Structure 1
Amino acid sequence: MSNNSNIKVEIDSHSGFCFGVVNAISQAEHELDNDDKLYCLGQIVHNSEEEERLKARGLITISHNDLDKLEGKKVLLRAHGEPPETYQKALKNNIKLIDASCPVVLKLQTKVREGWERMNAIGGQIVIYGKKGHAEVVGLVGQTNGNAIVIESISEVDSLDFSKPVELFAQTTKSADEYQAISQEISKRLHANLPLKAHNSICGQVANRKKELMEFSKKHDVILFVSGKNSSNGKMLCEVCKSINDRTHFVSSPQEVDEEWFLGVQSVGVCGATSTPLWLMQQVGDRVKQPS
């Protein structure tokens, strides 16, 4: 890079791992302190840099299909939560589970299960606003024996039967504004006197991030948003930054930082998703100041 040593770089103090991710990584590290390998069901975090760091310590990422081959082994369940079938399969194969499911997600799973019991009894619908196939959403749908209807946007509201009552939930990392818009649309279209019960299921740490990031994005000439490309939360929060500062750039590693972004720039803000480690944001910040 050219000489950017005079540029002020600020790392957003509110960005970085949420409690659930911190807890999962902490449990993985604790196990790896005492053993040279540990199996993890799915990506422990949607960040390839952090995954590589843990892989070097002995973390092995597996799929659900691998559970049948791991009789008697230890398997970590990450923060996203799992459907009931995963626990049943682990029991059948004598697998010792290290359950790092986020408490917020576990609480939501219980609410979805209770909601399904209510809706099933009266012919109603459980609707989940979330990303189809996302690990957390798969875990939530599992609480309804696969009967929940998953919608990814307000345009998919058309797939619902408005002659039946609805209980509505959201994946914990989705946009609160979009969730509210979906809730209002369903409520407006439900047949007369039919109830809509919309649960407040978005994680507080995620919901508060939007306002914090909007303020942070105003303070700097350029924003570097650091996130893994697979992070739903990252994509959503990066758009929040872009809505305030059009000089926002999505990067997954320091190597993706382009010196041309900083011509005539006095301040750069570095922030990230709930799946972005602080050390990676610091590396990106350091990269801005490196001479070419």
Structure 2
Amino acid sequence: MEIIIAEPIGYCYGVERALNITYEALKSKSDNIYTLGPIIHNPQVVKKLKDNGIKIIENLENVDIGTLIIRAHGIDPKKLERARKMGFKVIDATCPFVKKNQKRATQLVKEGYFLVVIGEKEHPEILGILANANGPFMVIENKSDYKKLPDVKRVGVITQTTQSMENFISVVSYLLEKHKEIKIFNTICDETIERQKSARNIANKVDLMLVVGGKNSANTKRLAEIGKSINENTYHIETSEEIIKKWLKGVKKVGISGGASTPKWLIDEAIKKIKKITSH
């Protein structure tokens, strides 16, 4: 049995930074350290943080004042200001690349462009970007959204940092045909592009492809979609417990890819489970 690992593996820079900030905050031994929503999209890592004392809240109501850590995906600046006024000690763990995206969106709105954001409408990164931009906008997830676009002459485009390059190119190509003036920023994170390229390359070479990461993780779901489009024997799992013996029947090569918020120990556990199953 040959196991091929898609590089890069483990946390991306933004996720690792957010987790380091969170664990540093835990050193204060405070009873009230919160994140507004999960700090990252990986249930197993978030559970470990909760076990260490991090409290996950969905709003600022009815909680004791303490330390509030802003998730890697960013936040509505009005919520940030409100937290500070309420007396929370705010620690911003927003990914620097997401911050850059927020600034690009704000810039486009100030320059008078109608903002088009390519991404998932309800994703926290998108919600944070739109709140920061504070102007006319539309979020495009796929081709079904095209007909909803208003008839405007000047369009400014950015994309969710974890989007696929294929969807980005598809949407931009459509916009170029329909609008006279377009300003485009390709704001897909470089590491996202590398993970997608690697997953695509390996999916072509193996009998079975496993994508490890949170089912709520946009970039992990994207890797699974890419794998599935190439290799029908692609499965998105969160933990090694989900690996089924029959998947490995007759399989000689297994590819493993991990999302940007997937810790290496979850990848290692998946490898261990595969070896255990195939050793009998």
* Fold shared per TM-score above 0.5: yes
Q: Alignment RMSD, CA only? A: 1.7
TM-fit CA distance, 1:217: 2.1
Q: Is the 8 A contact 1:36 1:57 kept in 2?
A: no
In 2, the alpha carbon distance for the partners of 1:91 and 1:148 equals 28
Provide runs of 4+ in structure 1 moved above 4 Å. none
Q: Are 1:29 and 2:18 counterparts? A: no
Give 2:221's aligned residue: 235
Q: Is the 8 A contact 1:272 1:281 kept in 2?
A: yes
In 1, the alpha carbon distance for the partners of 2:34 and 2:79 equals 14
Q: Is the 8 A contact 2:114 2:152 kept in 1?
A: no
From 3, 14, 20, give the equivalent of 2:8.
14
Q: Are 1:42 and 2:28 counterparts? A: no
In 2, the alpha carbon distance for the partners of 1:189 and 1:95 equals 47
- 1:257-292 alpha-carbon deviations (Å, 9 max, x no partner): 100011122232221111211111111111112258
Residue 59 to residue 11, structure 1, CA distance change in 2 (3 Å): farther
Give 1:99's aligned residue: 92
TM-score normalised according to structure 2 size? 0.93
SS in structure 2 at match of 1:200: coil
TM-score normalised according to structure 1 size? 0.89
| % identical equivalent positions | 32
Equivalent pairs, count? 277
1:247-286, aligned counterparts within 5 Å?
Answer: 247-286=233-272
Residue 231 to residue 73, structure 1, CA distance change in 2 (3 Å): same
User: Highest relative contact order (Cα 8 Å, sep 6+), 1 or 2?
Assistant: 1
SS in structure 2 at match of 1:264: coil
TM-fit CA distance, 1:219: 3.4
1:175-194, aligned counterparts within 5 Å?
Answer: 175-190=164-179, 194=180
From 46, 51, 60, give the equivalent of 1:56.
51
SS in structure 2 at match of 1:290: helix
SS in structure 2 at match of 1:126: strand
Amino acid at match of 1:251: I
TM-fit CA distance, 1:146: 5.6
TM-fit CA distance, 1:34: 3.1
| Greater alpha carbon shift after TM alignment, 16-25 vs 241-250 | 241-250
Give 1:156's aligned residue: 145
In 1, the alpha carbon distance for the partners of 2:88 and 2:238 equals 34
1:106-121, aligned counterparts within 5 Å?
Answer: 106-119=99-112
SS in structure 2 at match of 1:202: coil
Q: Is the 8 A contact 1:253 1:284 kept in 2?
A: yes
In 2, the alpha carbon distance for the partners of 1:35 and 1:88 equals 25
Give 1:76's aligned residue: 69
Q: Are 1:140 and 2:129 counterparts? A: yes
SS in structure 2 at match of 1:27: helix
TM-fit CA distance, 1:218: 2.9
* Structure 2: stretches of 5+ with no match in the other structure: none
In 2, the alpha carbon distance for the partners of 1:137 and 1:235 equals 16
SS in structure 1 at match of 2:27: helix
